[in-house]
Chain A
Amino acid sequence: MRRAVTENGKIARDARESIQECVSEFISFITSEASDKCVKERRKTINDDDIIWSLGTLGFEEYVEPLKIYLNNYQEGDIKGSKSSDQNGKK
């Protein structure tokens, strides 16, 4: 949140709480849509593609490309992590 306002801006506690509630609702909203998709396709597991698809369907198209890139980097990081002995792979 802080990164979205300029340096001289402040965010009151009530605004932070409100945005936290909005984030929870956002997750529920997207997950619900992804879940419906899985039901139609007779699948039991919601995966990352379902989430990205749901974001596109519900109007968050501009999030889709950054998320795909993020996911690729994440998976890449995992692979590198597991090869390197001095790192603990995160997942």
Chain B
Amino acid sequence: MRQARPYSGIFCGGVSARTGPHALPLARIKKIMKRSAGEAAAAADGGARMISGEAPVVFSKACELFVAELTRRAWAATLDGKRRTVHREDVATAVHNTDLFDFLVDVVTADTAGGTGGGGHDGNGAL
């Protein structure tokens, strides 16, 4: 019997029917990876790019860590506002306050701008 360890899925909260021992669905992670890898490969050499079976497993845990950190920072922003419910704006605040999350600025800015997000970007800049 496999034993629970600090980083095993079981220790973190048990096994769910939807994602097995991992907190996130591996198939969906792989789909996102293939899209991203495909774009990069097409730009570079047009060749096909394959993903090993263990890469989505690593991402499963990496995303858990990422979500935990992002949510913690968003929660801090929520508390700064004397509120108890984390909203989209808190996530945006957390992203803007953290250098590590610079690559997410467009994602959260588009969110807060509403609609397609295209309008708020050029020239005006939501910042």
Residues of A within 8 A of B (CB): 1, 3-6, 8-12, 14-15, 17-19, 21-32, 34-36, 38-39, 44-48, 50-52, 55, 58-60, 63, 66-67, 69-71, 73-77, 80-81, 84, 90-91
Contacts and interface: CB of A to CB of B under 8 A. Distances in A.
Interface of B: 1-2, 5-8, 13, 20-21, 29, 32-33, 35-37, 39-41, 44-45, 47-55, 57-59, 61-63, 65-72, 74-75, 78, 84-88, 90-92, 95, 99-101, 103-104, 107-108, 111
Contacts of A90: 20-21
Nearest to A27: B32
**For chain A, what secondary structure do more than half of its interface residues adopt (helix, strand, loop), or is it mixed?**
helix
Contact of B33 (A18, A46, A66, A71): A46
A22 B21 contact: no
A1 to B, nearest CB: 5
